[in-house]
């Protein structure tokens, strides 16, 4: 594929993704039958479950980017890491909010210390700290290595957090997949899952392009007049 046609791919993915999410949500809201026990509240599942899958996917992709950057040192992985991390944090935050909205009428409380809920909250904090680290590290080389290292460590930590919280306290529903729910619920679930997938991959591609532009600006040699006036670089380790 030529670079020119690739330029259109990301916005196209965003548009298709947004359209699919609208279609899937409309189907879930108006066409699908209400669930027997939970009634209308259950309809939030059509966004909640796909959000959970995609948050996991985005963060796994970020982990892959971190490993790829540490192994190859190719800057494109750093740009993608930045984009995927931000997307993973946004999706995980949305997941927590949707969960709280669903939990209030169903469990009677906004929040519960259930393993998956608590692990998601810890994951938001652990991964959300990495963009903060990037914001405060000014040297591009350091920033890239630090965030890749922090990402690898945070990812290795997630299973330990899950098991520790599981032993500590256990109330969440069993995971919903197309196999565990009635076929009447399949289509909106699947359409939304792919809609959110296209949406975030498109947005991540656009965001990575933005990171690449910023990196080019940061690492560009200063104009000759400025270079003569500039003081030597400080503290490089």
Instruction: Enumerate binding residues for other proteins (CB under 8 A).
Output: 70, 122-123, 125-126, 129-130, 132-133, 136-139, 141-146, 149-150, 152-154, 156-157, 160-161, 163-165, 167-168, 235-237
CB contact at 8 A, 49 and 24: no
What tokens does 156 get? 């290795």
| CB-nearer residue toward other proteins: 118 or 201 | 118
| CB-nearer residue toward other proteins: 87 or 150 | 150
User: At closest approach, how far in Å is the CB of 98 from other proteins?
Assistant: 21
**What CA–CA distance (Å, rounded) separates 228 from 15?**
47
User: At closest approach, how far in Å is the CB of 233 from other proteins?
Assistant: 11
User: At closest approach, how far in Å is the CB of 140 from other proteins?
Assistant: 8
Task: Provide the H-helix boundaries in the chain.
Answer: 3-26, 45-72, 75-107, 115-136, 140-168, 186-219, 224-229
**What CA–CA distance (Å, rounded) separates 231 from 57?**
44
User: At closest approach, how far in Å is the CB of 193 from other proteins?
Assistant: 27
**What CA–CA distance (Å, rounded) separates 102 from 30?**
18
**What CA–CA distance (Å, rounded) separates 56 from 73?**
25
User: At closest approach, how far in Å is the CB of 151 from other proteins?
Assistant: 11
**What CA–CA distance (Å, rounded) separates 175 from 116?**
10
């Amino acid at each position: 594929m030529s670079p020119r046609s690739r330029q259109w791919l990301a916005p196209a993915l965003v548009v298709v993704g947004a359209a699919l999410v609208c279609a899937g949500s409309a189907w879930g809201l108006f066409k699908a039958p209400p669930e027997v026990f939970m009634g209308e509240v259950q309809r939030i599942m059509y966004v909640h479950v796909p959000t959970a899958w995609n948050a996991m996917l985005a963060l796994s992709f970020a982990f892959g980017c971190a490993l790829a950057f540490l192994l190859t040192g190719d800057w494109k992985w750093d740009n993608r890491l930045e984009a995927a991390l931000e997307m993973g944090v946004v999706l995980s935050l949305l997941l927590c909010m949707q969960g709280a909205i669903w939990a209030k009428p169903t469990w009677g409380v906004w929040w519960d210390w259930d393993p998956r809920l608590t692990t998601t909250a810890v994951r938001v904090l652990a991964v959300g700290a990495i963009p903060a680290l990037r914001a405060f590290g000014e040297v591009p080389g350091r920033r890239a290595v630090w965030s890749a290292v922090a990402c690898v460590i945070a990812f290795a930590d997630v299973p330990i957090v899950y098991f520790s919280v599981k032993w500590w306290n256990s109330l969440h529903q069993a995971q919903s997949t197309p196999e565990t729910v009635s076929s009447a619920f399949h289509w909106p679930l699947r359409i939304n899952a792919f809609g959110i997938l296209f949406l975030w991959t498109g947005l991540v591609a656009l965001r990575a392009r933005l990171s690449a532009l910023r990196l080019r600006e940061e690492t560009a040699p200063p104009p000759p007049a400025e270079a003569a006036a500039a003081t030597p670089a400080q503290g490089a380790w």
